[in-house]
């Protein structure tokens, strides 16, 4: 059974409906969804709060001073997250990404990292970088391997306009330096490109990160949720990003690190390093999508654009055993048929279209 999506503006948290474990298929054979995709990547959102108000993610008009974030009791505890993560690893998950909201705002996040670092997975975290100076070493000591830092411009004025809280770019650059010094490398630096807002930052960012050892990646602006006023004409296709950089610094394509990698990889012909593009809108990669998302309040989402989740928190808090959880998770994955980006139309992307979950609840 499913719960309704959290649609902004939020009146209240959707009612938790327990999942049934009746008649679940046995766990023999590989766990595949309806389109023969395996489950490999688990993204865990640890908070719905953020100290930024990025215009494409948590616009101020919607996430204002009076916005009701989740009360603490609604959040999954670290113990609950750890239990679910272990079950996913048993089901084949190889990669776990901690995200949010801003994950470094969650108190004692390093305790969760320490727990998850014991699992046989690649453990990473996506952050806006604002707390990295303070936290990078503790995260590394807790067992984190790498970080991805979001950075939507290198010009201070543009960056401040994108984060919309007047946050200076120099502090994020200091955070990246702190992460590098702590050994959280290679660092990926993600820039969401919104045509007409920050696309003039593509070349300055490329110039800045050439020869740095960090991997700069450009992401197409997506119609996640219903609050960011997405319009197709504000999406700058990755092909244009590559063309602009290639005109100044010749590039050549390189192979994916593994099948199903979402970023298309390129390297500078002069040996100055690697960049990537993530073409979520213009070249959908649903057919190889192996990602599943656990929201801050313990709902499981099988797609970034899902309209409903599956309530694991209710099961956990009603005393479900690991085997019961395992069977439900397997059943959810087997039922998965998502391919939103392949069938996106102007109508599905509009606020009047289906009510999709907000990015800050399930993480990028
Ligand atoms: N606060 C952290 C951060 O910004 O890195 C982690 C959470 S954030 C939701 C994760 C990623 O999603 C960020 O790289 C962000 O730029 C990206 N993102 C958010 N909204 C997006 C959108 N509408 N289109 C494309 N990427 C988006
Ligand atoms: Fe916060 Fe990250 Fe969303 Fe920006 S993209 S508002 S930093 S959660
Ligand atoms: Fe995966 Fe859904 Fe994105 Fe397609 S739209 S790649 S199924 S998360």
CA of 335 to the centre of ligand 1 (A): 27
Q: Is 360 in the pocket of ligand 2 (CB under 6 A)?
A: yes
Q: What pLDDT score was predicted for residue 140? A: 98
Pocket test for ligand 3, best of 43, 305, 309, 363 (most atoms within 8 A of CB): 305
Sequence-separated (6 or more) residues with CB below 8 Å from residue 94? 40, 41, 121, 122
Reference 119, options 84, 77, 72, 166; nearest CA is 84
| Ligand 2: nearest atom to the Cα of 126 | 2
The secondary structure element, H or E, covering residue 322 is helix 322-335
CA of 188 to the centre of ligand 3 (A): 21
Q: Which two tokens stand for residue 7?
A: 């649609």
- The correct answer on CATH 3.40.190.10 for the domain covering 41-362 is no
Reference 303, options 43, 4, 32; nearest CA is 43
Pocket test for ligand 3, best of 338, 356, 364 (most atoms within 8 A of CB): 338
Q: What pLDDT score was predicted for residue 284? A: 83
Shortest-distance Cα residue to atom 8 of ligand 2: 101
Q: Which sequence spans correspond to the domains of the chain?
A: 41-362
The structure's pTM equals: 0.91
Q: What pLDDT score was predicted for residue 306? A: 86
CA of 84 to the centre of ligand 1 (A): 23
CA of 286 to the centre of ligand 3 (A): 5
Shortest-distance Cα residue to atom 4 of ligand 3: 286
Q: Are 290 and 299 in contact (CB under 8 A)?
A: no
Give the mean pLDDT per block of 10 residues along the chain (364 residues).
41 38 52 96 98 95 93 97 97 96 98 98 98 98 98 98 98 98 97 97 98 98 80 93 98 90 95 96 90 96 90 97 96 93 68 67 67
145 half-sphere exposure, CB direction, 13 A CA radius: 12
Q: What pLDDT score was predicted for residue 25? A: 46
């Amino acid at each position: 059974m499913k719960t309704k999506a959290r649609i902004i503006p939020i009146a209240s948290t959707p009612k938790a409906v327990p999942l049934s474990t009746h008649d679940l298929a046995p766990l023999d054979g590989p766990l595949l969804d309806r389109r023969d995709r395996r489950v490999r990547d688990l993204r865990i959102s640890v908070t719905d709060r953020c100290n930024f108000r990025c215009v494409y993610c948590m616009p101020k008009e919607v996430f204002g001073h009076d916005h009701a974030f989740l009360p603490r009791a609604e959040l999954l505890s670290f113990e609950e997250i750890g239990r679910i993560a272990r079950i996913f690893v048993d089901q084949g998950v190889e990669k776990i990404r901690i995200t949010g909201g801003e994950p470094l705002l969650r108190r004692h996040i390093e305790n969760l990292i320490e727990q998850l670092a014991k699992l046989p997975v690649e453990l990473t975290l996506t952050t806006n970088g604002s707390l990295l100076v303070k936290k990078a070493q503790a995260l590394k000591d807790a067992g984190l391997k790498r970080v991805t830092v979001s950075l939507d411009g290198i010009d201070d004025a543009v960056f401040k306009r994108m984060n919309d809280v007047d946050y200076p770019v120099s502090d994020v650059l200091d955070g990246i330096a702190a992460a590098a010094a702590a050994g959280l490398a290679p660092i990926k630096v993600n820039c969401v490109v919104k045509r007409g807002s920050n696309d003039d930052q593509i070349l300055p960012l490329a110039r800045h990160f050439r020869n740095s050892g960090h991997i700069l990646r450009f992401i197409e602006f997506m119609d996640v949720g219903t609050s960011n006023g997405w319009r197709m004409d504000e999406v700058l296709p990755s092909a244009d990003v590559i063309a602009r950089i290639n005109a100044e610094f010749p590039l050549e394509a390189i192979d994916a690190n593994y099948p199903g990698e979402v970023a298309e990889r390129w390297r500078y012909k002069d040996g100055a390093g690697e960049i990537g593009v993530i073409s979520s809108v213009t070249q959908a990669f649903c057919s190889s999508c192996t990602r599943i998302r656990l929201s801050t309040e313990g709902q499981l989402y099988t797609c970034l654009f899902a309209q409903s989740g599956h309530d694991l928190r209710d099961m956990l808090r009603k005393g479900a055993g690991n085997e019961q959880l395992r069977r439900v998770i397997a059943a959810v994955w087997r039922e998965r048929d998502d391919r939103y980006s392949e069938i996106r139309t102007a109508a599905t992307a509009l606020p009047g279209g289906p009510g999709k979950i907000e990015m800050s609840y399930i993480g990028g």
